[in-house]
Structures are given as C-alpha cells and as structure tokens.
C-alpha cells in the first residue's frame, strides 16, 4: 500500500521508520511508540504492533533499551489491564539479551506491568514466563528471572509457591556466577513476599549458602541481603540467624566484603535490638573503623553519624568517639575526608557537653588538615554544630582555615569555599563577617581564574540577599563600584557582571542612584567587550528601574552605543533597545 | 580429560610421549613468497570450549576459526556455557570470519604512533549464541561481539520509498535491500522527522478504532545468515605504557590489563573507569629495576592473580587483602646458582609469559632459556624446569647483538595439565611432559611435516621423585648443540605464539603469517 492520505503522512513515516537503517530514526520511532499505538488502535496494537516488536528484537541496544522502557507503560495502549499479558512476550525476549542495561530495563518494565495485572493473568502468563526464564538456556535469561520472583510469588497458588521457592534456590546455586549474583541481590525483595515460616526455613538456607559462596563477588552481594532480611525477621530470629553471619562477614578475608559490611552495619542495629547491638555490633563496627584497609575505614567513617544516631549516646561516647579521634589523624586523606563530611552531624547526637569536650578537638584538628577536602567538608556542615554549641568556640580556628582555603593555589578549592561563604555568613552573623570575610569576598573579584570571579560575583548577590540591601549598600556596593576603575578590562567586566546580579536584590532606587551611573560611565570604555557588556547589563536591569530613568539615562546611552564602530556593540545595544521597545509596547 | 590433579596423583607410570601429526594450515606460504609485515600473527587463543580459535595480527585484524568436527555434535547450550565434553575425532577448524579490530593511531599529546598490532586476545563468556572477546593493542582494549544474524528484508511500507504511486498498489516494493546496507535514498523521503511530527503530540486525537489504512512494515527473514562483529566497548586511556596482557576473570564481570608498570582492573560493562590494583612505578624513574611482563587471573578463584616480572619472579596477588595490591601474597623466584652470573643472567631471567593450569594449582612461566612449572603452594622453587634451547647458551652474545635475546616467547599447558609447550627459533616448538617421571621432550617444526626435525632425545628418566625434596626435574638439557639436520638456526623465523586446545591434544601455533595446527 503506497498511497497514504496527506494528513497521515507523518505517522506513516513514523511507522515505516521503525525499520529504518538509521538508528536515530528507529530510536525516534520507538520513543513515539505510544503515538503509533494510538494511530493503530488498541486492537491492532495487540494483534499487530506487539507481535511485530517481539519479532524485531535483534536491533541495536539503544533501540532495545528504549523499547523495554516504552513497553513498561504500554498497558493503556493495548486496551487496559485485562490485555496486559500481550506485553509479556516482547519483554520476555528483551530479558534474554546480553546487554545488562536492556535486561534490567525489561525486568523493571515487567515488574511494573506484573504489579498491575489481574491475579488470574499473573498465574496464567506471568508465572510461566518467570519459570521459562529461570530455566533459560543462556545465563542472561536466568539472570533476569531472579528479579521477577517478588512479583510472581504473592499471587501464586500454594503448589506453585513451593515450586517458585525451589526454582529460586536452584538459581542461587547456578553454575554461572552472574546468575548467583543476580539471585543474591534480588533475595531481599523476594524474601519480603515469602511467608514467615518459609522465610525462616527456605530463604534462610538460601541465604546461608550464598554467604558461603566461593566467589567474592557473590558473597559481597549477600551482605546487602543481611540488612533487608534482618528487617524482615523478628528480632530473636535475626539475632539467631543474621547476627552471626554479619559478625563473621565483618572479619571476612576480603576487604570488599568488609567494606560492604561497614556500609550496611548501622541498618542492622535496629533489627537486632539494643542488647545485641551493644555486645556484638558495636565491637564489630569498632573493628571496621580500625580496619587495615583504607577503603573499609572510609566506608566505616562515612557511617559514623548514622551509627551513633541509633546508639545510646553513652555507648557512642565510650566506644565510637575514641575511634573517630583516631580516624581524624588517619594516614589516608580519604578516610579523614569521609570522617569530616559526617562528623559534624554527631554534635546534635552527643549533646552540648560531649561535643565541647570530645568533638571540638576533632573538628579543630580536621580544620587544620593539610588536605583541603577535609577542611571543606567540615566547613560545609557548620550549621549542624552551630545549633548545638554556637559558632564562637570554633570561630578562632575557623578563620585561618577559611583564609587558607580562600588562597589555595587550586582554583577548584577556592571555588568550593566561595560556594560555602553564604552559608558561613548566615552562621557567623554580620559582625564576624564584616570583620574578617568581607575583604576576602572582594579579593575573589580579582582572581586570575574566570570561574572564581564569576562565583565571587554570584556570592555577592547571595550575601546581599542574606544580609539585606541596607547592609550591602554599606559593605559591598562601594568596594565593588570602586573596582570599575581597574586597569584590566576583564576585571571591569566582572564588576559589570556583579552589578547585573546585584541590581535585582538592591531594588529600583539604589540601582538607579548608585549602580546605573557606573554602568553608564562604563559605556565610554575604550574596550568594545566592556561596551557590549554594558549593553547586556542595561538590557537586564532596565525592568528594575523607573520608566523615566530608562528614558532619561538608559535609552540615550544605548542609542549612542548602537552607533558604535564595533559590530558586536551595535548588535547588543540594538538588542537591548528592542527589548525596551517591546516592554513599552506591551505595557 | 579434565584438568584434575593428574600431576600429583599420577597413575602407574608416566604417559607415553605423544605422536604429533599435522592437522591443518591456514595462510601457508608458497615457496619464495614474501611475508607481509601486517599479516604476521601476533596472538592466538582458543576459547574455553575449544570450539573456536582466534588469531590477531600485526595489521590489527582478528581472525576467527570454528571447529567443524564438533558442529553436528551439538550439545545443549547449557553445556556450552559450562564447557567440557569430549569428542572422539581430532579437532578440525575452518575459517569463520575476520574483522579489523584496531587501526593505527597517533597520540598527538605525546607524539607517539600507536601500532594497530594485536598484543593479546582473550575470550569472554558466550551468551545467546554470540561470541565475545577482548582484543588489545599497546594502548586500547576492545570488547567484541560476533554474532550470526539472519538477513532481513523489508517488503512493505506505508510510504513507497520509490514514490511509485503510478503503479498502484504493489505488494513487494523495491526497498528490499539488506537491512544492514545503507539506504540513503529512502531517508530523503522520511527525512527530518522532528519537524513533520511537531503536530503529532500526545494530545493529537486519533479515532478510537485507530486508522485502518496504516500498516506496519513487513519484514521477511531469509535463511541466509551473515556474521557480524560489533565493537561493544572500548577501554582506552588507562595505560601510560604498553599493554602486555589482558585476562578475564572467572567471575564473568571483570578483567585486568597490565602494562610495564601497572595492572588495572576493569568491569566489562564500564569502559570509562578502571581501578589500579598494582603499581610498581618507582617515585623516581631512575630507580626502575623491574617491569611487569605478563599477568593472568587464576582460572577459578576470582580474587587471585599472578604477574611476572623482568627479573624472573612471579608474584601471586590476593585482591581480597587490600585495594592496592602492591604487596604480593606470594613470591616465586629461583635463586640463581652462585658463580654462574654473567652479563646475560638478568636478561635471560626475564619472564616473557605466564599461564595458569586449568585447575589453577600450577603456573607455567617462560623465560628466555627455560620453561618452569611452579606449584602455587610451593614458593621455594619451580617443581620442574625444562630447557628449551640450551644449545643457544654459547651464542647469547650474538643473540644480544641482534636483539633476539629480547624475543618474548609464549607458553601453554595442555588441558589436563600433563604437558607444556613453548616456541623457539627456526619455527620450532617443544612439548614436554610434566607428570612426574615423564621424560617426554619433543621438538617439532611448524611445517606440514612436524617430526622432520625431531631430535632424538634419549629417554632418560628424570631424577626420581623421592630423592629430591623439591622435586626439581631437569630435562631436555642434553639436546645437541647443532640441530639434527645440521642446519644453522634461523633467528628470524621464531615461533612466539602458540596455544593448546583446552580439552584435547591439539596445538595451534603461528609461524610468521601461517597458522599451523597439530594433534596427537
């Protein structure tokens, strides 16, 4: 059929391009699959489009990925939930491709569809699909099967449930480590759907097998299951079955396993209850904080606060704090950095006295760390301490730290500290800021690196917002405007940028009385770049000021610039004039 | 025929020496034919099942061969995944396909030419009937998928690409070209989709029953298939020095790549980051005394790997111990006999290749003069040493002069671990029996008549096991100084690359541009 009605031409092309040789066009068609489906109608979508997609599954991964994603939300286009099962076959084939991200997306879509399907349909078509995949010839199918059990299981009749559990058990013993890994990482989700009696019997056996797998990579994922399973089990079962495993894992030969434990341990504390936490988990955690491998200490240090939040403060002070102190002078900068990023959060947990007595020395030593990231991490979380002990105790060490970071030779470090200045300002208050930090903020405007000057201008705007226009008029504006006389045009440009940012915060009056004259003067600059930036600034600030000011000051200035010999200056000033005209007309 | 502990628990008496026969040759040179540099084979590797063989050459090409005698054997896919079944006949291979894996490049930052030569090929897990392999040159590793695809043709479309409206309805339209060939003429019609669809937003009302005149393209699948190799991932910019080895891990998701000073760990699915796990670069390059020459993962323990050095030592590393594995778990090296030191001692001690046996208990290493077999449970010395070309010892000076002393010979073990093989000059290679008591030491020539140069080695039994604590076996040392036919050795024809079939007694070896296959 070669003749297509004119209005249908685009949709016809869209359909044809499902098979175009150009991958971009195919991708485009697949992404608009819902449009195609609506054009075909529900019935033909079921009868023709879906089978068509099932057959054309040898496409490029990007196309398959898009297809897997689209099919996940396709239920409305095939005629609603009662027809959802027609979507299963194409997704089933996508579950077997060798590209992991396609499979994962297909599994995700299948879960989404399965969770909406009617129970009878699940039994009739979804569960058999899971069984087929689990018995797949290639490992790819079996890997995908693992992620579907938690959808299939709840609606299965008793007989099938038994079968599903035993299939899952087989998957956990598959020859291919990839399958075992997938089974291990989906175990938690599956376990959540299994009845408690079977959870204790079947699932726990599976779990124990996985924890003893020879492959490091499998055991690693079993650790992740610990926390999830622990939460599902009743405390006494958790203590009996999970606790010994995790304590064992925390002393595993493989640092990667210990690393995983360090990341997960705090989640188990609640599951096992306070007493076993005190006797088992705290010692295990302390061991991890003192692990030989830096990576493990990094993970453990990063969880210090989360762990302490769950613990009794006394326990934290007695056992965890001494470790934190050791870590603050760890040989690995990454460990110190991880500690610095969370340790401020301990202050609310420990309360004022313990913070002053125990934490403060740690903060102070981290603030003096030789590695800028550590200092930055402390500064970024200042607000958490401020609430507990106020900032005065810290300010003595804080200032040198900030100044040093502000002058660090790596511009990224300088950039990072600038980003924190508004936060610091709000915590430290106007007084402190005026004395110590004001000068720094001005100094950054003349940094050698553009990004820093840019950030500095932005910082001024945020400070003006924080402390209000009155304060800004006194403490920022004069200094900034002073710098417009700098001999280097790039610095003058920074000032123009700062002005355009400050103007909205300062309001109409200050803008027209203080800022605008400076900008107008700058329009006489000898450098064209300054002149066209003046035009840009004027374009951005004219809505703020009074209309009379626009007519009296801004427009004449722009008109003059629009006759400039430089083409760019003319262009931008004309742009600005157009914008003004447009504004006037619309009212 | 599986790699059990035969070496340890040898059944009564050593196995008989194998009678090697010629099986096949690919790319045989006719008399007087000049060998093109780009055609010289630079890597050989069997896959895990032994049904496929890959070679790489200096021109950056990878050629795949498939076993023909196993085809009818079938075997379920699940078996193929986990290997191991025996076939009675000796393996025969045929050319399957080839593709250009690497192209010559130029690093403008360092003003360095990057050769396209394939340094190593390693097979990965097969999936969905497709073959996967890693290939590397000096700098860049690539992950390839080779798959048979059915040729598909599109026979019906909504919009006739040739605009043959005058002909009325034609069921089979001219656009029946192979879907893998470019079809720019069609694009002209379909063109710029974004503009023409702008009004086809999701709110565009379609009649409830759909539009009956629209139809889906009809695809006709023909029975023809074509093999397509696609590069799935490129792992680049992670090596400052030349990559000498890659090795895939038994966990099926990671692999390592080693250059002169560093070993990196990659996830197959992530090409933009790798972890440095071994770094032997000294703070000051003037202190450099030792480089990494080869590295391989343990065949079953995903946390263990071994690497060899230019000083003749092998280090076993446990990835579980630490994230940075600069400290080895075990060190294997042989103390040189006092007094035997010469100018060449260090050069010839350099290990050019190491290979794990299939069960992972033994490691075979090749240095310039010998093959050594190590038990990873015994770091005091090798369990066996085989002299490969001891008769060259007086000529070391000449070999040094013409740089041959730096040739990097590979080595291999048989699937059952009872024999080892390595190459030599004049296109010779040697096979040794390494079961206790075996005196097998065969010299073969990579030609259609491999036994032509068979040197009669007196079958003198090795030192008996009980008499030596270290069970050191020395054999083959008494090969005559001149070759049996009185030919002078030819240092330009060297057999560097060879591979042993994983399940059968079959060896593939490269003599310049030709691939010779032997069986026993």
Rg of chain A over all Cα atoms, to the nearest angstrom: 32
Asked if pLDDT for residue B343 goes beyond 90, the answer is no
B179 contacts A2? CB cut-off 8 A: no
A20 contacts B159? CB cut-off 8 A: no
Give how far the C-alpha of residue B12 lies from the chain's centroid of Cα atoms, to the nearest Å: 35
d(CA B427, CA B285): 37
Q: What was the pLDDT predicted at A4?
A: 53
- Alpha helix ranges (H) inside A73-138: 88-94, 100-114, 119-121, 127-134
Query: Which residues of chain B does A19 touch, with a Cβ-Cβ cutoff of 8 Å?
Result: 154, 157, 179, 217, 219
Residues 6+ apart with CB under 8 A from B448: B22, B25
Mean pLDDT of B125-140: 92
d(CA B305, CA B291): 16
* Better-predicted residue by pLDDT, A225 or A374: A374
Asked if pLDDT for residue B213 goes beyond 60, the answer is yes
Mean pLDDT of B81-101: 75
CA-based nearest residue to B103, from B248, B234, B259, B197:
B234
In tens, the pLDDT along A356-406 reads 888 888 988 888 888 888 988 888 887 788 777 777 777 777 778 888 888
Query: Which residues of chain A does B208 touch, with a Cβ-Cβ cutoff of 8 Å?
Result: 41
Closest Cα in chain B, distance from residue A329 (Å)? 20
Mean pLDDT of A419-443: 83
Helix (H) or strand (E) holding A367: helix A360-367
Closest Cα in chain B, distance from residue A583 (Å)? 30
B303 contacts A254? CB cut-off 8 A: yes
- Residue A537 pLDDT class (50, 70, 90 cuts): very high
Query: Which residues of chain B does A9 touch, with a Cβ-Cβ cutoff of 8 Å?
Result: 159, 196
In tens, the pLDDT along A157-189 reads 999 999 999 999 999 999 999 999 999 999 999
B251 contacts A217? CB cut-off 8 A: yes
Where are the strands (E) in B249-329, listed by range? 254-259, 262-267, 270-279, 292-297, 304-309, 314-318
- Residue B206 pLDDT class (50, 70, 90 cuts): confident
Percent share of chain A, pLDDT over 90: 52
d(CA B237, CA B473): 44
Q: What was the pLDDT predicted at A6?
A: 62
Closest Cα in chain B, distance from residue A137 (Å)? 5
Token pair belonging to A328: 């603050």
Residues 6+ apart with CB under 8 A from A272: A230, A235, A238, A239, A242, A243, A280, A281
B169 contacts A3? CB cut-off 8 A: yes
Strands B112-114, B105-107: pairing is: antiparallel
d(CA B37, CA B244): 20
Token pair belonging to A76: 């409305």
- Residue A269 pLDDT class (50, 70, 90 cuts): confident
Query: Which residues of chain A does B77 touch, with a Cβ-Cβ cutoff of 8 Å?
Result: 137-138
- Residue B32 pLDDT class (50, 70, 90 cuts): confident
Nearest to B193 among A13, A19, A39 (CB): A13
In tens, the pLDDT along A498-531 reads 999 999 999 898 998 989 999 999 999 999 999 9
**Count of Cβ atoms closer than 10 Å to residue B331 Cβ:** 11
A58 contacts B149? CB cut-off 8 A: yes
Closest Cα in chain B, distance from residue A280 (Å)? 24
d(CA A85, CA A93): 14
What's the ipTM?
A: 0.77
Asked if pLDDT for residue B299 goes beyond 90, the answer is yes
Closest Cα in chain B, distance from residue A360 (Å)? 32
Distances (CA, A) of B497 to B321, B405, B503: 34, 16, 19
CA-based nearest residue to A453, from A506, A410, A504, A414:
A414
**Count of Cβ atoms closer than 10 Å to residue A497 Cβ:** 20
Q: What was the pLDDT predicted at B200?
A: 53
Cβ-Cβ contacts under 8 Å between A and B: the total is: 186
Mean pLDDT of B128-157: 88
- Residue to mutate among A3, A16, A141, with most B CBs inside 10 A, is A16
Nearest to A18 among B81, B217, B300 (CB): B217
* Better-predicted residue by pLDDT, B29 or A345: A345
Asked if pLDDT for residue B466 goes beyond 90, the answer is no
Rg of chain B over all Cα atoms, to the nearest angstrom: 27
A253 contacts B207? CB cut-off 8 A: no
Residue A18's SS3 state is: helix
In tens, the pLDDT along B247-275 reads 999 998 999 999 999 999 999 999 999 99
Residues listed for chain B:
520
Closest Cα in chain B, distance from residue A198 (Å)? 30
Long-range contacts of B134-137 (CB under 8 A, 24+ apart): B134/B246, B134/B248, B134/B255, B135/B43, B135/B56, B135/B62, B135/B101, B135/B102, B136/B243, B136/B246, B136/B257, B137/B60, B137/B102, B137/B243
A137 contacts B320? CB cut-off 8 A: no
Token pair belonging to A402: 């900030």
Lowest mean pLDDT segment, chosen from A20-24, A417-421, B199-203? B199-203
d(CA A432, CA A386): 14
Nearest to B252 among A39, A177, A257 (CB): A177
Q: Which of A19-23, A410-414, A567-571 has the highest mean pLDDT?
A: A567-571
Question: Beta partners for B235?
Answer: B141
In tens, the pLDDT along B354-409 reads 999 999 999 999 999 999 999 999 988 999 999 998 888 888 998 999 899 999 99
Where are the strands (E) in A415-498, listed by range? none
Q: What was the pLDDT predicted at A166?
A: 94
Average confidence score pLDDT of chain A:
89
Lowest mean pLDDT segment, chosen from A148-152, A356-360, A516-520, B112-116? A356-360
A22 contacts B214? CB cut-off 8 A: no
Q: What was the pLDDT predicted at A419?
A: 87
Asked if pLDDT for residue B195 goes beyond 50, the answer is no
- Residue A272 pLDDT class (50, 70, 90 cuts): confident
Query: Which residues of chain A does B130 touch, with a Cβ-Cβ cutoff of 8 Å?
Result: 98
Q: What was the pLDDT predicted at A190?
A: 94
Helix, strand, coil fractions of chain B, as percent rounded to 5: 10, 40, 50
For residue A175, what is the nearest residue in chain B, using CA coordinates? B82
Average confidence score pLDDT of chain B:
80
Mean pLDDT of A436-459: 89
Tokens 């997609």 map to which residue?
A: A53
Token pair belonging to B73: 């054997």
Mean pLDDT of B294-319: 94
Q: What was the pLDDT predicted at B471?
A: 41
Mean pLDDT of B119-127: 93
For residue B183, what is the nearest residue in chain A, using CA coordinates? A21
Query: Which residues of chain B does A255 touch, with a Cβ-Cβ cutoff of 8 Å?
Result: 320-323
């Amino acid at each position: 059929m070669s003749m297509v009605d004119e209005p249908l031409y685009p949709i016809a092309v869209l359909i044809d391009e499902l098979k175009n040789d150009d991958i971009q066009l195919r991708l485009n068609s697949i992404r608009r699959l819902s449009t195609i489906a609506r054009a075909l109608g529900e019935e033909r979508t079921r009868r023709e489009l879906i089978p068509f997609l099932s057959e054309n599954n040898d496409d490029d991964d990007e196309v398959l990925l898009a297809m897997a994603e689209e099919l996940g939300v396709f239920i409305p286009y095939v005629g609603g939930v009662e027809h959802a099962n027609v979507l299963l076959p194409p997704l089933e084939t996508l579950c077997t491709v060798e590209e992991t991200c396609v499979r994962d997306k297909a599994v995700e879509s299948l879960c989404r569809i399965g969770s909406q399907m009617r129970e009878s349909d699940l039994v009739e078509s979804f569960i058999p699909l899971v069984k087929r995949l689990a018995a797949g010839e290639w490992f790819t199918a079996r890997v995908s099967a693992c992620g579907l059990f938690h959808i299939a299981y709840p609606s299965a009749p008793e007989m099938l449930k038994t079968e599903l559990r035993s299939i899952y058990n087989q998957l956990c013993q598959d020859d291919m480590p990839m399958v075992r890994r997938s089974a291990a990482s989906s175990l938690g989700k599956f376990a959540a759907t299994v009845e408690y009696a079977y959870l204790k019997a079947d699932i726990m056996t599976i779990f124990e097998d996985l924890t003893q797998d020879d492959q490091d990579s499998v055991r690693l994922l079993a650790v992740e299951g610990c926390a999830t399973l622990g939460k599902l089990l009743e405390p006494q079962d958790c203590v009996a079955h999970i606790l010994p495993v995790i304590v064992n894992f925390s002393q595993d030969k493989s640092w990667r396993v210990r690393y995983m434990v360090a990341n997960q341990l705090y989640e188990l504390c609640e599951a096992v209850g306070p007493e076993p936490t005190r006797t088992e988990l705290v010692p295990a955690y302390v061991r991890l904080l003192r692990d030989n491998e830096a990576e493990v200490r990094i993970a453990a240090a990063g969880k210090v606060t989360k762990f302490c939040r769950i613990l009794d403060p006394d326990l934290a002070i007695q056992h965890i704090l001494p470790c934190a102190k050791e870590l603050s002078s760890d040989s690995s900068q990454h460990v110190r950095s991880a500690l610095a990023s969370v340790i401020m959060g301990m202050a609310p947990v420990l309360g004022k006295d313990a913070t002053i007595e125990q934490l403060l020395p740690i903060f102070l030593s981290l603030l003096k760390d030789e590695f800028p990231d550590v200092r930055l991490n402390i500064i970024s979380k200042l607000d958490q301490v401020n609430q507990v002990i106020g900032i005065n105790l810290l300010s003595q060490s804080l200032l040198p730290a900030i100044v040093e970071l502000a002058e660090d030779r790596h511009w990224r470090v300088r950039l990072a500290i600038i980003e924190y200045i508004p936060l610091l300002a709000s915590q430290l208050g106007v007084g402190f800021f005026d004395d110590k930090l004001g000068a720094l903020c001005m100094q950054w405007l003349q940094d050698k690196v553009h990004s820093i000057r840019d950030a500095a201008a932005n910082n001024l705007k945020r400070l003006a917002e924080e402390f209000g226009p009155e304060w800004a008029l006194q403490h920022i504006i004069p200094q900034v405007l002073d710098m417009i006389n700098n001999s280097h045009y790039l610095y003058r440009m920074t000032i123009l940028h700062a002005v355009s940012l400050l103007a909205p915060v300062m309001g109409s009056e200050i803008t027209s009385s203080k800022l605008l004259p400076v900008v107008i003067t700058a329009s006489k600059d000898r450098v064209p770049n300054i002149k066209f930036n003046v035009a840009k600034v004027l374009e951005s600030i004219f809505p703020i000021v009074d209309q009379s000011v626009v007519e009296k000051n801004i427009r004449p200035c722009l008109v003059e610039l629009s006759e400039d010999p430089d083409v760019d200056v003319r262009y931008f000033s004309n742009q600005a004039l157009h914008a003004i005209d447009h504004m006037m007309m619309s009212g | 025929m599986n790699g059990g502990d035969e070496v340890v628990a040898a059944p009564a008496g050593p196995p008989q020496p194998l009678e090697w026969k010629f099986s096949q040759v690919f790319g045989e040179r006719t008399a007087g034919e000049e060998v093109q540099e780009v055609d010289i084979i630079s890597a050989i590797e069997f896959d895990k099942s032994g049904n496929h063989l890959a070679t790489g050459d200096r021109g950056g090409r990878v050629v795949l061969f498939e076993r023909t005698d196993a085809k009818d054997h079938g075997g379920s896919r699940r078996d193929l995944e986990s290997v191991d079944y025996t076939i009675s006949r000796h393996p025969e291979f045929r050319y399957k396909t080839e593709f250009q894996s690497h192209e010559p490049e130029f690093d403008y930052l360092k003003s360095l030419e990057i050769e396209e030569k394939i340094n190593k090929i390693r097979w990965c897990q097969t999936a969905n009937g497709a073959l996967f392999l890693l290939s590397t040159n000096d700098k860049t590793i690539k992950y390839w998928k080779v798959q048979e695809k059915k040729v598909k043709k599109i026979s019906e479309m909504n919009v006739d690409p040739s605009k043959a409206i005058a002909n009325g309805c034609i069921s089979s339209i001219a656009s029946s070209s192979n879907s893998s060939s470019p079809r720019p003429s069609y694009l002209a019609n379909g063109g710029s989709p974004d503009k023409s669809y702008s009004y086809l937003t999701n709110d565009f009302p379609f009649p409830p029953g759909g539009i009956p005149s629209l139809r889906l393209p009809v695809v006709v699948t023909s029975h023809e298939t074509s093999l397509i190799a696609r590069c799935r991932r490129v792992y680049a910019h992670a090596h400052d020095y030349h990559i000498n080895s890659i090795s895939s891990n038994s966990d099926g998701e990671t692999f390592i790549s080693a250059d002169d000073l560093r070993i990196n760990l990659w996830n197959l699915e992530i090409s933009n980051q790798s972890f440095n796990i071994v770094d032997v670069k000294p703070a000051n390059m003037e202190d450099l005394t030792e480089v990494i020459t080869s590295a391989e993962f343990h065949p079953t323990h995903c946390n263990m790997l071994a690497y060899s050095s230019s000083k003749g030592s092998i280090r076993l590393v446990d990835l579980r111990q630490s994230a940075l594995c600069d400290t080895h778990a075990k060190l294997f090296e042989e103390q040189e006999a006092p007094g035997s030191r010469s100018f060449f001692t260090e050069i010839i001690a350099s290990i050019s290749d190491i290979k794990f046996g299939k069960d992972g208990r033994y490691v075979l290493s090749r240095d310039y003069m010998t093959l050594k077999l190590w038990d990873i449970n015994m770091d005091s010395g090798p369990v066996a040493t085989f002299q490969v070309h001891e008769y060259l010892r007086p000529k070391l000076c000449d070999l040094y002069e013409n740089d041959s002393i730096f040739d990097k010979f590979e080595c291999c073990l048989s699937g059952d671990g009872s024999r080892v093989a390595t190459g030599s000059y004049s296109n010779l290679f040697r096979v040794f029996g390494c079961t206790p008591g075996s005196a097998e030491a065969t010299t073969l020539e990579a030609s259609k008549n491999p036994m032509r140069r068979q040197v009669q080695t007196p079958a003198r039994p090795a030192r008996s096991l009980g008499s030596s604590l270290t069970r050191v076996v020395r054999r083959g040392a008494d090969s005559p100084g001149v070759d049996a036919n009185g030919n002078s050795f030819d240092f330009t024809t060297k057999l560097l690359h060879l591979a042993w079939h994983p399940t059968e007694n079959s060896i593939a070896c490269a003599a310049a541009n030709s691939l010779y296959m032997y069986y026993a």
